[in-house]
Chains A and B, each alone.
Chain A
C-alpha cells in the first residue's frame, strides 16, 4: 500500500465513523415527547450492550473455559453492584488465574 492510498483510507474511516455520530447530535436537539420513542431510546443501551457482550465474551480469551469463568465472576460482581473497575479487574484476574491453572494441568 502506498502512503497516499493509506492516508485516503484513513480519512474515509474517520469520516464514516464520525458521520453517524454527529448527525443525530446536532440535528435532534429538542426533547422527544412521545413516550414510546423516549422509552425506546432510553432502553437502547441495554439492548445494544447485551447483544455486544453475548455470546462474544465467551470467545474473548484464549480458551472457552477461562472466558466462561471470567464471565461468571464478572456477572456475580456486577450483581452485587461492584463498580466498573472492580468488575473489569475481577473478570480479567479470573481469566488469568484459570488459564494459569489450565497450563499447570496440561
Chain B
C-alpha cells in the first residue's frame, strides 16, 4: 500500500476520524450546554482547543468555578502526552517543511490525526497533513455545533453506541502492526497491563488520566526500544489494511 500523499488522500484519510469525532464532539456540545455554557462557547472551545479529554475536563473545571491556575495546570498535565506525540511526529516530517507550516501542523496534532499520520509510509508532507487535519477538524467543530444546538437530535441508544467508535478506530490502528511485529504486540500488552493497574488498583488509581497515559506510553515504548531497537525503515508505516 504505497500511495502518493496528496491533499485529497489526506482529506479522505480524515473521514473516519471525523466520523469518530462527530459522536464525541456532539456529546461535548450537549454536555457544555447542559452545564450552563452559552450556545457559542462549546463551538469556540472546539475551534480553539481541538482536543478531546482536555475539553471535557476544561468545561467541568470552569463550571465548578475553578481558578485559572488550576485550569491551566490540570490541562497541561492532561496534554503533556502531546509533547511526546509532537516529538515523534517531528521525526517523520519532511525536513523541508518550514516554521509556519509546522505551527499549523502542531495545532492539528490530535491523538487520532497523529495515529493515522504515523501509519503512512515515508516522510510526511504538508499537503497530506493539511487535508487530514481539515476534514477531522470539520467533524470536530461540526459535531460540537450540532450537539449544542440540538441536544436531543440523536436517540440516546445511538449516542451510547457511538461512544465506542473512537476506541474501535484506535483498535484498527494498533492491531494490524501488532499482528505483523511481535515487539509491537509486547508493547501493547505492557501498556494495557499498566493502564489496568492504574485504573483499578489503589493507590495508583488516584492518578489523573493524563499522567497514566504518559507513564504507560513511556514504560512500554522504552521496554520496546531497549529490547527491540528498530532498524532504519521498519515500522515507518507498518499497518496495511485490506480496504
Tell me the A residues contacting B by CB distance below 8 Å: 1, 3, 6, 8-26, 28-32, 35-57, 60-62, 66-67, 70-71, 74-75, 77-93, 95-96, 99-100
Contacts and interface: CB of A to CB of B under 8 A. Distances in A.
Contacts of A12: 68, 71-72, 75
28 contacts: A6-B62, A13-B54, A13-B71, A16-B54, A17-B50, A17-B79, A20-B82, A22-B86, A22-B103, A26-B102, A29-B95, A41-B91, A42-B88, A47-B220, A48-B81, A52-B213, A56-B167, A61-B163, A62-B156, A71-B164, A74-B171, A78-B172, A82-B243, A84-B16, A85-B15, A87-B172, A91-B164, A92-B161
B88 A13 contact: no
Query: Interface of chain B, helix or strand or loop or mixed?
Result: helix
A46 B106 contact: no
Interface residues of B, number: 109
Interface string B27-67: 00000000011100100110011110011001000110100
B95 A31 contact: yes
B241 A50 contact: no
B49 A81 contact: no
Nearest to A32: B91
A99 B161 contact: yes
Which interface residue of B50, B90, B105, B173 has the most chain A CB atoms within 10 A? B90
A77 B172 contact: yes
A100 B158 CA distance: 10
Contacts of B177: 46
A44 B75 contact: no
Q: Which 3 A-B pairs give the minimum distances between C-beta atoms?
A: A91-B168, A51-B216, A47-B220
A20 B220 CA distance: 21
A19 to B, nearest CB: 8
Which interface residue of B54, B87, B107 has the most chain A CB atoms within 10 A? B87
Interface string B182-194: 0110011011101
Contacts of B63: 1
A13 B49 CA distance: 6
A51 B85 CA distance: 14
A21 to B, nearest CB: 4
B167 A53 contact: yes
A88 B172 contact: yes
Contacts of B212: 51
